[in-house]
Amino acid sequence: MSNPSITGEATEEAIAILPGARARERASRRTGRARRTPAWAAVVLMVAVVYFLLPLYATAVFGFSTGKHFTLQPLWDGLADDGFQTSLQLSLMYSIATTLLALIVVAPTAYLVELRFQRLRSTIEFLTILPFVIPPIILAVGLESTYGINSPVNLIASSWAPVLLMGGYFVLTLPFVFRAVDNALRAVDVRTLTEASASLGAGQMRTFLRVIVPSISLGLVSGALLAFTTAMGEFTLAALLGYPTFPVYLLNINGYQPREGEALVIVSFVITWAGVIALAVVARRAPGTQIVRGGPM
């Protein structure tokens, strides 16, 4: 393994510029290191893959069979169920609404903080970390205390109920959305772009929509994907505040239709998978994109 060749100036530079993996690859090629995967690493990776696929395989075995034979019947039954369709529609509605709300509110805020209100940066950053300290279960109790049945501001039993869940989801997705948008904003020279646009006679709104938004579009897309997948899979707030979304339905159906339930678990997995793959595609074009939420679920 040891190869005491002296690393040249150019290699050092390659390491500094390129992100980890590829830099190492190049460095090792130049210094003549072997490209072979060590046996122990191959074994560890194979065991890991098996471990992570096992629960999915077991779920598919249960969900795609009626006792002994393979069939997709439970899946079709599950998909045809009214309860499933209503709950999925509700989840989609809340997820799309939350995503739009988050982008429309967070993007201008992050832009103005970067451009003009740098003094507010530490406050805003604190606010965007706060949802990690207040995980969904605490937020649910807080919202229940503030807007629940016993509160003078009873939103839950009013026509404002959808706003309550959207507000909760806005808070839950805030850390990811803010970071995604803020990273994108910091990667472009917001100040110069804004000044150039203004000197050409564009108003603030026009500058934001026609200059800033297109130049941070990847950040907006990754923020949107993070918000959407978070809201689609969110269980805690919906269950405690009483919204029959898809994850809540999934819990209930497993009580009386376990095979359909397991088939729908696969559906839920596919939704997660699609979201993460989409994020990975974005991340490939915009390095530094966060593709894991990293909050308690």
Residues 42-81 that bind another protein (CB under 8 A): 42, 44-45, 48-49, 52, 54-59, 61-63
**Residue 36 near another protein by CB under 8 A:** yes
- DSSP per-residue letters across 59-71: HHHHHTEETTEE-
Q: How far apart are CA 76 and CA 234, in angstroms?
A: 24
Cβ at position 214, least distance to another protein in Å: 19
**Residue 235 near another protein by CB under 8 A:** yes
Nearer Cβ to another protein, position 67 or 214? 67
Indicate which single residue of 233, 243, 260, 282 sits in contact with another protein (rule: CB under 8 A): 233
The single residue listed with the structure tokens 């069939």 is 71
- DSSP per-residue letters across 209-233: IIIIHHHTHHHHHHHHHHHHHHHHH
**Residue 138 near another protein by CB under 8 A:** yes
Among 67-75, 84-92, 137-145, 213-221, the segment contacting another protein (CB under 8 A) = 137-145
Q: Are the C-beta atoms of 18 and 26 separated by less than 8 Å? A: yes
Q: Are the C-beta atoms of 128 and 175 separated by less than 8 Å? A: yes
Cβ at position 196, least distance to another protein in Å: 10
Indicate which single residue of 144, 219, 225, 243 sits in contact with another protein (rule: CB under 8 A): 144
Cβ at position 29, least distance to another protein in Å: 10
Nearer Cβ to another protein, position 95 or 194? 194
**Residue 86 near another protein by CB under 8 A:** no
- Mark 254-290 as b/e (b = at least 16 C-beta within 10 Å): eeebebbbbbbbbbbeebeeebbebbeebbeebeebb
Q: How far apart are CA 230 and CA 222, in angstroms?
A: 12
x-or-dash string of contact with another protein, 147-186, rule CB under 8 A: -x-x-------------x--xx-xx--x-----------x
Q: How far apart are CA 198 and CA 4, in angstroms?
A: 56
Indicate which single residue of 66, 89, 145, 158 sits in contact with another protein (rule: CB under 8 A): 145
- DSSP per-residue letters across 70-108: E-SHHHHHHHH-HHHHHHHHHHHHHHHHHHHHHHHHHHH
Interaction with another protein in 244-283: which residues (CB under 8 A)? 247, 250-251, 254, 261-262, 265, 268-269, 272-273, 275-277, 279-280
Amino acid at 135: P
Please tell me the count of residues contacting another protein according to CB under 8 A.
116
Nearer Cβ to another protein, position 76 or 195? 195
- Mark 170-206 as b/e (b = at least 16 C-beta within 10 Å): bbbbbbbbbbbbbbbbeeeebeeebeebeeeebeeee
Interaction with another protein in 199-218: which residues (CB under 8 A)? 199, 204
Q: Are the C-beta atoms of 174 and 128 separated by less than 8 Å? A: yes
**Residue 132 near another protein by CB under 8 A:** yes
Q: How far apart are CA 153 and CA 150, in angstroms?
A: 8
Nearer Cβ to another protein, position 93 or 276? 276
Indicate which single residue of 75, 103, 140, 282 sits in contact with another protein (rule: CB under 8 A): 140
